[in-house]
Structure 1
Amino acid sequence: MELTRRELIAAFLGSAVAASACQRSRPRETVPGAVVDRALETGHRLRGGPLPRAEGAEPVEVLIIGAGVAGLSAAWRLAGAGVKDVRVVELEDEPGGTSRSGKNAVSAFPWGAHYLPAPLTEQGAVLRLLREMGFVTGMDAGGYPVFPEELLIREPDERLFYRGSWYEGLYLRAGASAGDLAELARFEARMNAFAAARDAKGRKAFAVPTALSSDDAEWTALDAVSMAQWMEAEGFRSARLKWLVDYACRDDYGTTAEGVSAWAGIWYFAARQDGRGERSEGFLSWPEGNGRLVRQLLGALDPRRLERHVLVHTVEPGEDGCRVEALEAGTGKPRAFQARQVVFAGPRFVAAHVVAPWRQQRPAWMGAFSYGPWVVANLTLSSPPQSRGFPLAWDNVFYESRSLGYVAATHQMLRQDDAGPTVLTWYLPLAGLDVKAERERVLAAGYEDWERLVMADMLPAHPGIAGQAQRLEVMRWGHAMIRPAPGFMWGPARFAAQESLGRTLHFAHTDLGGMALFEEANWFGVRAAERVLGALGRPSTSWL
């Protein structure tokens, strides 16, 4: 049964958005555009019957399967060790995974991750990458890296839309009671204490990446309950604070506080600070988002060693290497590689269909991995949207919507005239706990549905936006983000999945870290590459 406009909006964005949007009129013309993702149908060929095998096999020293951030980080680390015979194969048109970006005549823009929190340490692979890019100018008196002003998100950085007006920041202070503000202060004090906590070995209780966090039971026990349960047990009941925590969980994990472990929920607020409160230089961003970091990682790889449109369907590990069977996605031509070492840099749900031993006997831990779908849309406007209240910011959030609002891609361009055209990147995590049902909803909706949803979400905050809209492009991510459900971060499944198969097949992906974040992908990519170096008899000082 076809949904009415109001029913569609309510189903995806909530009844408040539906009621508000349907009270306002807009031109009947649909904003021109398209759904631009194309890999879903190709990737689903893995679910079919046996695929053809090639007769011969191309020899290669190291084959990396997947050119997302984890795979490119592995290639970057191997290049740093002088390994030349590295091949990277990727199914899609463009490398980068959920950190890829696009560009039009107005601006570059992200198709997923759009910022990198500024590292708090002078060590680690992420800071090494930023140093390579010339983005670390020194260290401050407190021992923190210093970054160029033009990379730090310029003010205004965040605003919140509520009942007809925009307000500064992400906590709704307008109309907050004394009790609301007291509860916020108590929550912030608890998060600061978690951020300052160290174990007997000097490890942070909550660290970036998660692998560097303390494994003391005092903190890991928090993984057994949801963030919503922890909030209730601690007496945090203010609706405004619960909204903020729920937004944080949807933002980083793609689901609500009910579906996120308390350890992961606290990590969001505590891991990227030192216990003395929020650091002002918190985020680095570019118009293309983390696509800028992808470009730097790609620079370490000979372009001839990256092959696009290659669908890997079988990996057979052996004592002396792995045989990898693949298809050219466009032609269906079978390909095969014989690699001394393989890094599988894709998610576990793909590995279950590709790694031959797992296809024959599914590992017990596989069912613990759950991935939430997202939709990202880039809307090009002839001029910035008009607003009431606090002015246009980098991050613009709708309090009463299930979306995350939008990021202004042109915010970091530092133009003298901010009246020109702009691109707004809109984000919608499908946050329901039934991920299969959410995925089906994403794939069932067509372009006209998404156009209605994006414009309905924008319309209450920007009544004239329909006349400014020039083009809308939509990308669906069916398995965008690993979800750190209760029991997952410190349960046995995640750690079992991190182990190599023999000495020839290694794994790298954000899902191994339990969080779909650049730092996790980079860490596991570098770690897999260093396992490869060890297996090749070329160990070196770790970048981790």
Structure 2
Amino acid sequence: MELKRRELIAAFLGSAVATSACRDRTPRAPVPGGVVDRVVDTGHRLRGAPLPRAAELQTVDVLVVGAGAAGLSAAWRLAAAGVRDVRVLELDTEAGGTARAGKNAVSSFPWGAHYLPAPLRDTGPVMRLLREMDAVTGVDDTGQPLFDEELLVREPEERLFYRGEWYEGLYLRAGASAEDLAELARFEARMNAFAAARDARGRKAFAVPTALSSDDAEWTALDALTMAQWLEREGFRSRRLRWLVDYACRDDYGTTAEGVSAWAGIWYFAARQDGRGERSEGFLSWPEGNGRLVRQLLSALPAGQVEPGVLVHSVEPEAGGCRVDALEAATGRPRAWRARQVVLACPRFVAAHVVAPWRQRRPEWLDAFQYGPWVVANLTLSEAPKSHGFPLAWDNVLYESRSLGYVVATHQLARQDERGPTVLTWYLPMAGLDMKAERQKALSASYADWEGLVMADLLPAHRGLAASAQRLEVMRWGHAMVRPVPGFLWGPARQAAQESLGDVLHFAHSDLGGLGLFEEANWFGVRAAERALAGLGRTAPSWL
């Protein structure tokens, strides 16, 4: 049993965590809880035999398929334009996709994305959304927006656990050599130069969203390399710097620098800063993470417009519209709609099964879209964890683990008792390059396996944590986010995927931007909605 436990921990979290966990033989009771995702089997019905079709059709002006950030952004844009005959269908029991949130007696908490970097520009749909939330307090003399201080992540923001001690920040400065620090400074200077770079048209080389970036070959050629290859080519060999870059790639893209294009790796460090080394105003976050953004989008929609528990299995363009067929997930009852316009706000691997013409003749470019799995676990504690060194922060990273560590859901709450109950949201990107094998590994692990893995990861950093652990809930995201593998971001597949089918079927999802981020989902959702508006014959100023 001990050998099996060690092998399990090593396979998911790495040998350093396995060694540490197996060294501690203190007995403890398992933490009660469970695996809480339920839509995997339902979604996989798309792979099987043709599903039944309803005899009667409902009519609607616009049908949005998918109530993640992209689909809700599309519905939000349509609502602002005064289009009321809109239906949003969602397979899951609630809206939000990977930005959804949960809640218990202690706090709200994220089930996926947990922050939004403060935008640098006072333009675009994300800024419009933040203004609707009263998150924006003004602009500075340079035109950069200013944000409500209560929404910006408060200090301490980040810390790093290494060999028994917590240190401030995400770069391990303790024990760093002069050569390590010199290489870090050289890397930061390169990233600042990339951030300041503009093309002849004034476009940033690396912008948010990616659609606003320069397409000049000087920059896009970086997409042909992995980030690891670029680091080697440029002579960046410090193990500490390599760890930092790997962490960045795992954090935003779900895999290491070996699996990420150099363009994407540089984008992480350059797109959200001004070229002077300042990374915007910071991070905007809430206890429920980006679930707060989902809630704002939902608040703009008419009651009942979003219908959960509906599996859409066919979208068929016809003259003047689309036929959409679906099943109620709970009952299996077939449903069908005739829509003048459709926004398909789901990832390409789902669209491949849903878009009727693609089932008959699958576009080759669909195979270029690859998706990595993630696992997110929320651990409720009766008191904040005790630790040695730098104090508890919002983001708490474990240097020797393959996990990303955890964020503290209650960090942003104004609490008098900083030692009171809390919820830790733990993140594990399944970062291996064989995404199918990683997905199978994630989905095959039992709750008992996940309980052992989460506690093995956290206990070395927090002795006594087991005594305060109240409940653990685990969410598996089998296809959590698109991976920006080399050649994908500036290759033909992503560009082809963005094109509408005729003037009736439009696409929206973060994978169209090549990065699984809220800004990408929001931008493509709004763009698809504006295409649908044009298809309805309505004119409206663009938000993009």
> TM-score, normalized by length of structure 1?
0.99
For the 8 Å contact 1:24–1:459, the answer to whether it is kept is no
In structure 2, what is the equivalent of residue 307 of structure 1? Answer: 307
In structure 1, what is the equivalent of residue 520 of structure 2? Answer: 520
Distance 1:2 1:316, change over 3 A: farther
State the alpha-carbon separation in 2 of the partners of residues 184 and 123 from structure 1. Answer: 33
Cα distance per residue 1:489-515 (max 9 Å; x no partner): 000000000000001000000000000
* 1:285 and 2:268 correspond: no
For the 8 Å contact 2:118–2:284, the answer to whether it is kept is yes
Find the residue that maps to 2:304 and give its secondary structure: helix
State the alpha-carbon separation in 2 of the partners of residues 506 and 300 from structure 1. Answer: 21
In structure 1, what is the equivalent of residue 401 of structure 2? Answer: 401
Find the residue that maps to 1:121 and give its secondary structure: coil
Q: Which amino acid aligns with 2:503?
A: R
* 1:207 and 2:199 correspond: no
* 1:414 and 2:414 correspond: yes
For the 8 Å contact 1:72–1:297, the answer to whether it is kept is yes
Pairwise CA distance, 1:2: 11
In structure 2, what is the equivalent of residue 267 of structure 1? Answer: 267
Structure 1 residue runs of 5 or longer lacking an equivalent are none
State the alpha-carbon separation in 1 of the partners of residues 339 and 200 from structure 2. Answer: 43
State the alpha-carbon separation in 1 of the partners of residues 21 and 262 from structure 2. Answer: 35
In structure 2, what is the equivalent of residue 373 of structure 1? Answer: 373
Find the residue that maps to 1:419 and give its secondary structure: coil
In structure 2, what is the equivalent of residue 385 of structure 1? Answer: 385
Q: Which amino acid aligns with 2:154?
A: R
In structure 1, what is the equivalent of residue 333 of structure 2? Answer: 333
In structure 1, what is the equivalent of residue 455 of structure 2? Answer: 455
State the alpha-carbon separation in 1 of the partners of residues 388 and 341 from structure 2. Answer: 57
The correspondence of residues 456-535 of structure 1 with structure 2, limited to 5 A, is: 456-535=456-535
In structure 2, what is the equivalent of residue 446 of structure 1? Answer: 446
In structure 2, what is the equivalent of residue 68 of structure 1? Answer: 68
Cα distance per residue 1:195-218 (max 9 Å; x no partner): 000000000000000000000000
Cα distance per residue 1:65-106 (max 9 Å; x no partner): 000000000000001100010000000011000000000000
State the alpha-carbon separation in 1 of the partners of residues 54 and 193 from structure 2. Answer: 58
Moved more, 213-222 or 279-288: 279-288
For the 8 Å contact 1:319–1:503, the answer to whether it is kept is no
Distance 1:401 1:290, change over 3 A: same
In structure 2, what is the equivalent of residue 180 of structure 1? Answer: 180
Q: CA RMSD in A?
A: 1.0
Find the residue that maps to 1:529 and give its secondary structure: helix
Pairwise CA distance, 1:281: 2.2
Moved more, 487-496 or 272-281: 272-281
* 1:364 and 2:364 correspond: yes
* 1:294 and 2:291 correspond: no
In structure 2, what is the equivalent of residue 221 of structure 1? Answer: 221
Pairwise CA distance, 1:21: 1.2
For the 8 Å contact 1:404–1:428, the answer to whether it is kept is yes
Pairwise CA distance, 1:3: 6.7
* 1:90 and 2:94 correspond: no
For the 8 Å contact 1:26–1:466, the answer to whether it is kept is no
For the 8 Å contact 2:119–2:280, the answer to whether it is kept is no
Percent identity of equivalent pairs: 78
State the alpha-carbon separation in 1 of the partners of residues 78 and 483 from structure 2. Answer: 29
Q: Which amino acid aligns with 2:203?
A: R
For the 8 Å contact 1:384–1:421, the answer to whether it is kept is yes
State the alpha-carbon separation in 2 of the partners of residues 254 and 148 from structure 1. Answer: 30
State the alpha-carbon separation in 2 of the partners of residues 289 and 7 from structure 1. Answer: 33
In structure 2, what is the equivalent of residue 157 of structure 1? Answer: 157
Q: Which amino acid aligns with 1:141?
A: D
Find the residue that maps to 1:459 and give its secondary structure: helix
* 1:171 and 2:189 correspond: no
For the 8 Å contact 1:262–1:486, the answer to whether it is kept is yes
For the 8 Å contact 2:66–2:346, the answer to whether it is kept is yes
Find the residue that maps to 2:327 and give its secondary structure: strand
Pairwise CA distance, 1:302: 1.4
For the 8 Å contact 2:372–2:480, the answer to whether it is kept is yes
For the 8 Å contact 2:120–2:145, the answer to whether it is kept is yes
Cα distance per residue 1:241-270 (max 9 Å; x no partner): 000000000000001100000000000000
Structure 2 residue runs of 5 or longer lacking an equivalent are none
Q: Which amino acid aligns with 2:331?
A: T
Q: Which amino acid aligns with 1:500?
A: S
State the alpha-carbon separation in 2 of the partners of residues 202 and 26 from structure 1. Answer: 61
Find the residue that maps to 1:11 and give its secondary structure: helix
Find the residue that maps to 2:10 and give its secondary structure: helix
For the 8 Å contact 2:231–2:237, the answer to whether it is kept is yes
Cα distance per residue 1:299-338 (max 9 Å; x no partner): 1111211111000001101121000010000000000000
Find the residue that maps to 1:259 and give its secondary structure: coil
State the alpha-carbon separation in 1 of the partners of residues 26 and 264 from structure 2. Answer: 41
Q: Which amino acid aligns with 2:314?
A: T
State the alpha-carbon separation in 2 of the partners of residues 3 and 526 from structure 1. Answer: 52
Q: Which amino acid aligns with 1:113?
A: A
For the 8 Å contact 2:180–2:240, the answer to whether it is kept is yes
State the alpha-carbon separation in 1 of the partners of residues 369 and 143 from structure 2. Answer: 37
The correspondence of residues 237-248 of structure 1 with structure 2, limited to 5 A, is: 237-248=237-248
Distance 1:13 1:217, change over 3 A: same
Find the residue that maps to 2:60 and give its secondary structure: strand
State the alpha-carbon separation in 1 of the partners of residues 271 and 200 from structure 2. Answer: 18
State the alpha-carbon separation in 1 of the partners of residues 149 and 61 from structure 2. Answer: 42
In structure 1, what is the equivalent of residue 14 of structure 2? Answer: 14
* 1:134 and 2:169 correspond: no
Distance 1:145 1:458, change over 3 A: same
Q: Which amino acid aligns with 2:245?
A: V
Pairwise CA distance, 1:278: 2.4
Q: Which amino acid aligns with 1:492?
A: P
Find the residue that maps to 1:486 and give its secondary structure: coil
In structure 1, what is the equivalent of residue 54 of structure 2? Answer: 54
For the 8 Å contact 1:319–1:502, the answer to whether it is kept is no
State the alpha-carbon separation in 1 of the partners of residues 292 and 136 from structure 2. Answer: 15
For the 8 Å contact 1:192–1:275, the answer to whether it is kept is yes
Number of aligned positions between the proteins: 544
For the 8 Å contact 1:323–1:337, the answer to whether it is kept is yes
In structure 2, what is the equivalent of residue 35 of structure 1? Answer: 35
For the 8 Å contact 2:120–2:280, the answer to whether it is kept is no
Find the residue that maps to 1:67 and give its secondary structure: coil
Find the residue that maps to 1:275 and give its secondary structure: coil
State the alpha-carbon separation in 2 of the partners of residues 295 and 278 from structure 1. Answer: 30
Moved more, 370-379 or 19-28: 19-28
State the alpha-carbon separation in 2 of the partners of residues 2 and 99 from structure 1. Answer: 37
In structure 2, what is the equivalent of residue 540 of structure 1? Answer: 540
State the alpha-carbon separation in 2 of the partners of residues 374 and 500 from structure 1. Answer: 30
State the alpha-carbon separation in 1 of the partners of residues 319 and 275 from structure 2. Answer: 48
State the alpha-carbon separation in 2 of the partners of residues 447 and 3 from structure 1. Answer: 19
State the alpha-carbon separation in 2 of the partners of residues 26 and 308 from structure 1. Answer: 45
